[in-house]
Amino acid sequence: MTGRILAVDTTSENGSIALWEGGRLREEHAIHAPGGFGHILLSEIAALLKRHALWLPHIDCWAIAAGPGSFTGIRVGIAAVKGFAEAASRPVVPVSNLQAIAYFGEGDLRASLFDARRGEIYCGWYDANLRPVRPEGVMTVEAWRAMLPAGAVVVTPSPELASGLPRVMQSPLSLAGAVAAIAWPRFLAGETLHPALIDANYVRKSDAELHWRE
């Protein structure tokens, strides 16, 4: 088995896809899609496969950035990966965007975050092996700062959110390569899911759900 993983991230307008093969990143392709991914994602994946002379059956596992992030973007990415994986009878590894951001940090405790809008941020806390040390959440920046442990390295694509803190590292906007790297050991260990079992990691409810409850 070659260990080919195709990773997809459509959770923000700065999405990406990546090909991982034999324990290393072969290609990561950024996709800026402020108008959404529904009309371009399939063709982008097809083009990546063509560049490497691959077909769907050549992919051993799919990895998906399952959120949090754009509700519509998450649904588009998950639907595409489910369809491709189901068609080729391949497993899927879902990966949190917050964990993928923490991948670009260093130290024993990494606090990852990014803008959740509505005056809030998505946040997560991971150890050096990217294992979560507390549940991911959504909160105001002020609340997050108040609970940030001393010595934590902050990792974020938007360092202005952590201005004034002593240890801040900026992560790239393209996360598909990190998603693939995180999925790789899980794939080797058999920690994969059937495509039908993949679900979104929204962290908070959508505006539509909130308005419906009101």
In the predicted structure, residue 28 carries a pLDDT above the cut 80:
yes
Residue 200 contacts residue 78 (beta carbons within 8 Å): yes
Percentage of residues in the chain having pLDDT higher than 70: 95
Closest by CA position to 144, among listed 123, 125, 127: 123
Confidence of residue 204 (pLDDT cuts 50, 70, 90): confident
What pLDDT is attached to residue 54?
Answer: 97
What pLDDT is attached to residue 211?
Answer: 42
Q: Show the domains of the chain with their CATH numbers.
A: 5-97+173-213 (3.30.420.40), 105-170 (3.30.420.40)
What pLDDT is attached to residue 2?
Answer: 72
In the predicted structure, residue 210 carries a pLDDT above the cut 90:
no
SS3 call for 83: helix
What pLDDT is attached to residue 1?
Answer: 56
What pLDDT is attached to residue 209?
Answer: 41
SS3 call for 35: coil
What pLDDT is attached to residue 205?
Answer: 67
What pLDDT is attached to residue 82?
Answer: 98
> What mean pLDDT, rounded, does the chain reach?
94
Q: Give tens-digit pLDDT for 159-177.
A: 999 999 999 999 999 999 9
Please list the alpha-helical segments (H only) found in 5-148: 41-51, 71-88, 97-102, 141-147
C-alpha–C-alpha distance, residues 147 and 36, integer Å: 34
pTM higher than the cut 0.85: yes
